[in-house]
Amino acid sequence: MQKRFIRMFLRNNRFIAYVIATALLIGAMLLGISVGTVSVPVISILQLIGTEVLQLPSMGTVDPMYTTIVMDIRLPRVILAGLVGASLAIAGAAFQGLLRNPLAEPYVLGVSSGASVGAVLVLFFNLTLPFIGIFTLPVMSISASIITIFLVLFFARQIERSMRVETIILTGIVFSSFLGSLLSLMIALTGEELRQIIGWLLGSVSMRGWEYIAIILPFFVIGSAILLFSSKELNAMSFGEERAQHIGVNVARRKLWILIGGSILTGAAVAVSGTIGFVGLVIPHLTRLLWGPDHKHLLPLSILLGSAFLIVADLISRTIISPTELPIGVITSLIGAPVFAIILIRRRKERRG
């Protein structure tokens, strides 16, 4: 009864939800910038952001070493981690709503496997496309993820014209396995680049710098906008596609948009950071549990919580056995899997009780 009351209280206070989520994100960012082999005092960070980012008049002098650490290393790293976490979380929330399955995530549709194959191809053949130079890898992986989702949809349509969700999931799983074995094949054939490929596959946001933020940001904005403008349709579709159609949603077109939006976000995230699991699964789930399934709020709140979560995960990955850095994917899985298991067990218990 008390738990119920707390749940209702949380759901009915959306303003508080946004305040809490924003506070968590700001806290995580400050922590992520501050903590490291050299710790930067929070007051210096605020001063630095004031002068360097917001171009405010001088707010007192800051140690130039701090300036370098914050502006060249930690700030871009934290922002990138935040953008990747946000992308994966909102894409996960959208896929779960669309597929009406709280256990779905971008990986289920084969999207991230596609993105990985695109990226590993670049590493394997040492490709550099003309004009885009170092952007070859992200462009290839985003393209590969979008190609994958269209292939999945094409095959799903071949199997069944109405393209039921179950068919899409099954097709996605088939593609995932197939692309997974392509990856294994390339890894097996690799000599010297093995370590690079494995490291990339495990996921990391270190040493990427501002260019990577520039790469992911436009895709993040476009993908999130598509999904945020589809939040009502996602609400309708969680009652089944037929129901959504009856309510007035153009299901075929909207489904396509949501899948494209989710794929852009996933592809961009995989391109800049490799495969990072569990964010797209756990964060939407947790958000829904706290603040309800209404996608109008679920999507923005997932963005906030997802970025905060990945920033903290990245912080742990680089400090826990410092100076060695663990791949961030290892940390998210280590945190995410047990949390997920607990959520599952509690849900089962709730249903029985």
Report the interface residues with another protein, using CB under 8 A.
Answer: 8, 11, 97, 100-102, 161, 232, 235-236, 238-240, 242-243, 245-251, 288, 292-294
In angstroms, give the least distance from the CB of 322 to another protein.
Answer: 41
Nearer to another protein, 203 or 284 (CB): 284
In angstroms, give the least distance from the CB of 144 to another protein.
Answer: 30
- Any residues with CB less than 8 A from the CB of 271 and at least 6 apart, and which? 115, 118, 119, 137, 138, 139, 140, 141, 142, 215, 216
In angstroms, give the least distance from the CB of 250 to another protein.
Answer: 4
In angstroms, give the least distance from the CB of 166 to another protein.
Answer: 12
Nearer to another protein, 211 or 242 (CB): 242
* 170 vs 116: CA distance, rounded Å: 20
* 254 vs 227: CA distance, rounded Å: 10
Return the residue matching tokens 């779960």.
Answer: 96
Q: Report the amino acid identity of residue 132.
A: I
* 290 vs 13: CA distance, rounded Å: 11
Closest CA to 204 of 323, 86, 47, 77: 77
Closest CA to 48 of 36, 38, 60: 60
Nearer to another protein, 218 or 240 (CB): 240
In angstroms, give the least distance from the CB of 327 to another protein.
Answer: 33
Rg, C-alpha atoms of the chain: 21
Nearer to another protein, 177 or 250 (CB): 250
In angstroms, give the least distance from the CB of 167 to another protein.
Answer: 13
- Any residues with CB less than 8 A from the CB of 62 and at least 6 apart, and which? 44, 47, 48, 51
Q: How many CA atoms, within 13 angstroms, populate the side-chain half-sphere of residue 33?
A: 26
In angstroms, give the least distance from the CB of 293 to another protein.
Answer: 3
Q: Is 58 exposed, middle or buried (0-12, 13-18, 19+ CB in 10 A)?
A: exposed
* 97 vs 294: CA distance, rounded Å: 10
Nearer to another protein, 67 or 245 (CB): 245
Nearer to another protein, 235 or 275 (CB): 235
Nearer to another protein, 68 or 250 (CB): 250
Nearer to another protein, 161 or 349 (CB): 161
SS3 321: coil
Nearer to another protein, 334 or 343 (CB): 343
In angstroms, give the least distance from the CB of 314 to another protein.
Answer: 30
Based on DSSP, count helices (H) and strands (E) in the chain, helices before strands: 16, 0
* 246 vs 249: CA distance, rounded Å: 7
Structure tokens at 196: 């690079």
In angstroms, give the least distance from the CB of 221 to another protein.
Answer: 16
